[in-house]
A and B are shown apart, each in its own frame.
Chain A
Amino acid sequence: MKTPYSAFSLLRGALNGQKHWEPAWRDPEPRASYDVIIIGGGGHGLATAYYLAKVHGIRNVAVLEKSWIGGGNVGRNTTLVRSNYRLPQLHNFFEFGLKLWHGLSDDLNYNVMFSPRGAMFLGHNDGDMIKLAERGDAMRCDGIDAELLTPRQIAKIEPLLDLSRNSRFPIDGALIQWRAGTARHDAVAWGYARAADALGVDIIQKCEVTGFVRDGNKITGVETTRGRILAGRTGICVAGHSGHVAGLAGLRLPIESQTLQALVTEGVKPMVQSVVMSQSLHCYISQSDKGGIVMGGDPDNWPSYARRGQPTVTEGAIAQAVTLMPALSRLRMLRTWSGVTDMSFDGSPIIGTTPIDGLYLNAGWCYGGFKATPASGWTYAHTLATGAPHALNAPFSLERFMTGATIDETSVGPMPNHR
């Protein structure tokens, strides 16, 4: 049993020079076989392993990660957590996750620094406000908090927003979800890894899957850079690279990989209280606990696995942010980065079974995977443990694209680059 993180442990350590702490997780050699293999040691993969062990008692589990845990999209996002979706399948799924977020630090015994500071969607015209009101109504019908704000109310929360009528993007109101907020991305990966490891899960880093072991229409294991590992069930959980890994098993997915960028400024005193987003423009602004202003915008809108973005896209996001909040123009940019996102063909994720026996899929998170980490892990663990989807992820099947039951929040159709 690991030493729990607590004030008491810290005090005890004060007497012996804090020498009693152990590594947060082991670095085991892969065994020959496991009950379940999860490909991908990102937030979702680690959460899946944790819930498999904790909720379903399946502890003979390996998480295979090609580089190091937390180095992919779980460490590259803008850390926003919310459940303010219009469609019931989406908001019920994300709301289940948001409830888990609220108790996550206690559950994992790891401070994920979840900060429910409120997330607002701005409306810039009558059409926006009608859509936001409808979205808020739909959420409240399912018991999710949402509140429509007037510009005067917005000014009290975010006094630095340009609320004048002369603005390039005048602000007519907003829809705020107070229980939404941000979390510390690395802590989410490390917290799940530590908790899963304590329950007996093997986290195997620097182990890239290079192929699948097949017996007829059944996957019985994986070929990796550290040898062949057999598994009762294998789960793909590599959003960003799902097309590539599923391709190794001969599957073609409704996914195109694109670059999504983000940036952060130098640290300053508190100036952005909540998370400010505009879906009409597509830019989002929040302030990290260190004080940096974190911003993001559109994906690059063409396929790439390169993890380097086009500067004009960043420029567009900054231009929008500076127009909404002119004071941001005085800040210096500290760094930009990008990640590879799975752009699915209806903008919603895919969690469930595949046409191949023993192979399961968790993919297609577009630019919104971080907030889903607990819900994704919970439902994927259920799917891997029982072989059938949980009620919450049943609508997000891979078959929905062929049966016409797509979950298209923005009504764009099968055009991942227009989303």
Chain B
Amino acid sequence: MYQITCPHCGPRAQTEFTYERTMDSVVDPAADAQTAMQALYTRANPMGLDEEIWRHTYGCRAWMVLTRHRVTHEIHAVRAIGPEALP
């Protein structure tokens, strides 16, 4: 268990957060069928860094992207996404 720094609330316990999916699995509505299926049904699943979408579900409920290491669990960066992240 570790802490995740929410872009809005600061450091909070990991149990407040839920994992959604990886950044590369977001389907572009304009994508062709083959690309969309690739995004939906395949993952790079690296033994290293990957970009993941998490949500502060049991907190402010905002979405964010974590750059996280799959072996050490070290979080290299957190950035907000969604309407909250707009200027």
Contact = CB atoms under 8 A, between A and B. Distances in A.
A291 interface: no
Interface in A383-419: 401-402, 414-415, 417
A296 to B, nearest CB: 18
Chain B interface mostly: mixed
A304 B70 contact: yes
Interface string A240-267: 0101100100001111110000000000
B61 interface: no
B3 interface: no
B47 to A, nearest CB: 5
Contacts of A301: 18-19
B45 A256 contact: yes
A311 B18 CA distance: 15
B72 to A, nearest CB: 7
Interface residues of B, number: 25
Given A310-B14, A312-B1, A417-B19, A257 B45 contact: yes
Contact of B46 (A243, A345, A417): A243
Chain A interface mostly: mixed
Nearest to A406: B41
Interface in A281-298: none
A254 B19 contact: no
Contact of B45 (A244, A310, A414): A244
Contact of A252 (B14, B15, B44, B72): B44
A244 B47 contact: yes
Interface in B1-30: 1, 14-15, 18-22
A312 B54 CA distance: 18
Contacts of A306: 70-73
A345 B45 contact: no
A5 interface: no
A302 B45 contact: no
B71 A252 contact: no
B42 A253 contact: yes
B76 interface: no
A243 B41 contact: no
Contacts of A305: 47, 70-71
A256 B40 contact: no
B50 A303 contact: yes
A306 B74 CA distance: 11
Interface centre among B22, B37, B42 (most CB of A within 10 A): B42
Contacts of B45: 243-244, 247, 252-253, 255-257, 303
Given A254-B41, A305-B71, A402-B37, A311 B47 contact: no
Contacts of B38: 252
B79 interface: no
B44 A247 contact: yes
A254 B42 contact: yes
Contacts of A244: 45-47
Contacts of B70: 257, 303-306
Given A303-B19, A306-B70, A253 B43 contact: yes
B51 to A, nearest CB: 11
A310 B1 contact: yes
A401 B41 CA distance: 7
Interface string A142-156: 000000000000000
A258 to B, nearest CB: 9
Nearest to A251: B42
10 contacts: A243-B44, A247-B45, A252-B45, A256-B22, A256-B43, A256-B45, A303-B22, A305-B71, A415-B21, A417-B19
